[in-house]
Amino acid sequence: MEAHNGSHHDEDRYKNHLYCECEQYISIKQISKHYGSCSPMKKKYGKLFGIIDKLITSESKDIQDWRSLEALFKFLQGHIKMMINKEEKRPNQFKNIMRKEPVPNNEVYMSQESVEYGQREDQHMYEEEKMEYKEYYQPEEEKMNRCGSCKKYITENDEESQNVVIPECFHFFHKDCLRVQAKKQYMKDMKASCNVCDSVIPNAYLNEFFGKEFLDDIETELLRKQLKEEGGMIDCKCGNMLQVAPGKVDYNQKDDEGKVLSKAAAENMAQFRVRCNECSLIFCSNCNADPYHLGKTCEEFAEYRGADKCRFCLEKLKKIRKKGPLAFRAVCRSEECEMYMERSCDKQLDCGHFCCGAKVDEDCLPCLDADCVSQNPGLTLDQTGDDFCNICYMGGLSQAPSVQLDCRHIFHEECLIKVLEGKWSGPRINFEYIKCPTCKTEMSCNHPEINRHINLAKTLREKINDIAMKRAKHEGIDKDDRLQQAPYNGELLPYAVARLSYYMCFKCKKPYFGGLKSCENNNNQNAANFKPEELVCGSCSAESVGGGIKDCKKHGTDYIEFKCKFCCSIAQWFCWGTTHFCDDCHTRQNKGDYLTKKKLSELAKCKGARSCPLKVDHPQNGKEEYALGCAICKNMKENDKGY
């Protein structure tokens, strides 16, 4: 045994020594003797010595068994040397171990002759091992330091990020590389093996490396594969499995343009067109085209896919344009596509794809190519150029100039403008049309024309909010108990807007009050039979028809109200430029219960001012128009307060 003080001996000399737990360096010749007397060594290496003892004391071994045992020990020794060599590349770590000071009380002194003999033996062993390392272990170490799958070097970063796995054959793999390799092998042969030595990687190792779900998922995939091959099943993108059975051929089936399908296309459709019962996706079970290629056989669709197509209508091009911006070389000569070309951005993005945005937009759209979107789906909320516009559902976003709102949802420019120009649906004014069709947040973007429409809507909303606040106070809505309840919580403006109906006068194009509405009322009531020309404000209608008080010296004609011609209610509708209806009577008229054709005796009779809901004497219902006077003055009188 030797004690080492770390300052007078060559460090290489101790590479073939055991550094015991008792802090002494033990030469190979002294290991057995030292083991018999050292408790710390027995504690650490007892199990190992027990295994070795069983292996070498067997009397039944022949010469081949001993050679096999020798080969195994050399194999183990080789891998240990590789690990040592790897650690020696971290010199500070190794030197710290070599220079560790022994406990002084355990120092053992040897004679000069013993020391010199040991040095000669160590040098001889060192030369032998050096040659052995060069001829065998160095090439093995070269393999050891590379991933068995991708053959790239294993780096310290790989180890620190825990991206390295070592099967029982001791060959290194990147974790991701082995996962891919093992799955391919398992799908083919129901087992995984090392690419370097062909040894099988036990399932226990795969479970340890990748989790139990790794093999479970593979078995599920194998089962699905078997069902598809033997049971006539197919996969939908959503994960649902479907059984395919040919349908009845409809030779009168038409394509999206209204043309009758060819015989071959109709038969192809009957055999391969599938609709998923889970996600409703319609696709081809033969060529996996999504959506199904209506009007084409699989072969025709494959040819179409490989041909040059117009970037807008996707029809096959007869020839590519030779002049003009590169972005528009693949555009056909149809009038619609020419129009789209004029309105589209002609810029090429950094990725090499062309912008699908509008020409007047200040900023280019993010790239809508599927591969580019997959790299950063947040830029477009995972929308690609193949996704339908959520307004028209008639074509992909890349098939017409598109606009991205600040909420990041994307729509065709033309569709957004149509929505904004169409404004609200139904007679009552509302501002749902300036909200994003997808997420319902208020629209905003950098497109000049779209912004103009949005700003016009905001101006109109401010005007209605202003007159609604005044009307609410004169209608007594500000005293309503429901104002203090959720969701209004004392906020008069949202409550007033919820209770009061406003319409757009067809003549003067100004909003006017059309009566109260309950919170349960549908704002789009009568929308199906809505005629804008029938909506005329009190000011415009007072100029041409009826009796009663048609003007106010204080407030003019803006707040003149009319009674319904057919009952004792305030009118909200002025039709044909002559006739006022309340909501109920207008609904009856539009449903075919024509009040205008009824005799006076068939209409509701008014019992006079005392019993009349309007508290006025007026002409018989159905006889003539009648103005009720100024609504503001009426409320002032009822509330006994000034305006």
Write phi, then psi, for 411 (nearest 5 degrees): -140, 160
3-state DSSP assignment of residue 8: coil
Q: Which tokens go with 247? A: 């349908």
In angstroms, what CA-CA distances link 407 with 345, 380, 443, 445, 588?
21, 10, 8, 9, 43
What is the spatial distance between Cα 607 and Cα 582, in angstroms, rounded to a whole number?
Answer: 19
Question: pLDDT tens digits, residue range 322-337?
Answer: 888 988 999 999 999 9
Averaged pLDDT for residues 155-176: 82
Mean pLDDT throughout 278-303? 88
Three-class SS state of 431: coil
Cα 639 from Cα 217, distance rounded (Å) = 75
Neighbouring CB atoms inside 10 A of 544's CB total 13
Averaged over 365-383, what is the pLDDT?
94
E strands, 365-435, are: 402-404, 410-412
In this structure, are residues 164 and 86 in contact, taking their beta carbons and an 8 Å threshold?
Answer: no
Query: For the whole model, what pTM was predicted?
Result: 0.52
**Within a 13 Å sphere around the CA of 234, how many CA atoms are in the beta-carbon half?**
18
- pLDDT band for position 639 (50/70/90)? low
Q: How confident is the model at residue 4 (pLDDT cuts 50, 70, 90)?
A: very low
pLDDT of 459 > 80? The answer is yes
The percent of residues in the chain predicted with pLDDT above 90, rounded, is 30
User: Does 122 score more than 80 pLDDT?
Assistant: no
Over residues 179-191, the pLDDT tens digits come to 999 999 998 888 9
Residue predicted with more confidence, 238 or 100 = 238
Q: What is the mean pLDDT of residues 395-412?
A: 94
**DSSP code per residue over 300-360:** HHHHHHHS-B-TTT-PBPSS--SSS-GGGTT--S-HHHHHHHHHB--PBPTTSPBP-BBTT
530-586 confidence digits (pLDDT tens): 678 878 876 776 665 555 666 677 777 667 788 999 999 998 877 765 688 998 998
- For residue 445, which of 360, 385, 373 has the smallest C-alpha distance? 360
Q: What is the mean pLDDT of residues 585-601?
A: 91
Residue 519 annotated as catalytic:
yes
The owner of tokens 């007026």 is 618
Among the ranges given (21-35, 62-76, 340-354, 555-569), the one the predictor scored with the smallest mean pLDDT: 62-76
Query: 11-20, 84-93, 237-246: which range is least confident on average?
Result: 84-93
Give the pair of three-digit tokens for residue 284.
């081809």
Residue 638: per-residue pLDDT: 66
pLDDT of residue 39: 86
Annotation marks residue 575 as catalytic: yes
State how far the alpha carbon of 299 is from the alpha carbons of 254, 264, 295, 304, 622, in Å: 19, 10, 12, 9, 70
**Would you state the structure tokens that stand for residue 536, as one six-digit string?**
């005329």
Specify the range with the lowest mean pLDDT, choosing from 114-123, 214-223, 519-528.
Answer: 519-528
Name 39's Cβ contacts closer than 8 Å, sequence gap at least 6.
Answer: none
Report the pLDDT value the prediction gives residue 339, as an integer from 0 to 100.
Answer: 95
Residue 194, number of CB atoms within 10 A of its CB: 19
Q: CA 367, CA 349: separation in Å to the nearest integer?
A: 7
Residue ranges per structural domain of the chain:
11-145, 157-220, 232-306, 323-404, 423-530, 536-643
What pLDDT, on the 0 to 100 scale, is given for residue 336? 93
Window from 142-151, 377-386, 502-511 with minimum mean pLDDT: 142-151
Higher pLDDT, 156 or 606: 606
Structure tokens at 414: 């033309």
Q: What band does 517 get if pLDDT is binned at 50, 70 and 90? A: low
Give the Å distances, CA to CA, from 136 to 79, 140, 231, 366, 579. Answer: 11, 6, 53, 56, 107
Maximum distance among all Cα pairs of the chain, rounded to whole angstroms: 142
User: How would DSSP label each residue in 197-215?
Assistant: T--EE-HHHHHHHH-HHHH
How far is the C-alpha of 412 from the C-alpha of 398, rounded, in Å? 9
Which residue type, as a one-letter code, is found at position 277?
N
pLDDT of residue 107: 44
State how far the alpha carbon of 508 is from the alpha carbons of 175, 225, 511, 533, in Å: 74, 69, 9, 11
Dist CA 539 CA 559 (whole Å) = 7
Q: Is the pLDDT of residue 115 over 80?
A: no
Tokens of 211: 């989790």
What average pLDDT does the structure give for the chain? Answer: 81
Confidence check: pLDDT of 421 > 60: yes
The mean pLDDT of 50-79, rounded to a whole number, is 71
pLDDT band per the 50, 70, 90 thresholds, residue 353:
very high
The residue that leads in pLDDT, 470 or 435, is 435
Candidates 284, 568, 575, 630; catalytic one: 575
Provide the pLDDT for residue 143.
Answer: 61
SS3 414: helix
Least confident of 74-88, 488-502, 573-587, 614-628: 74-88
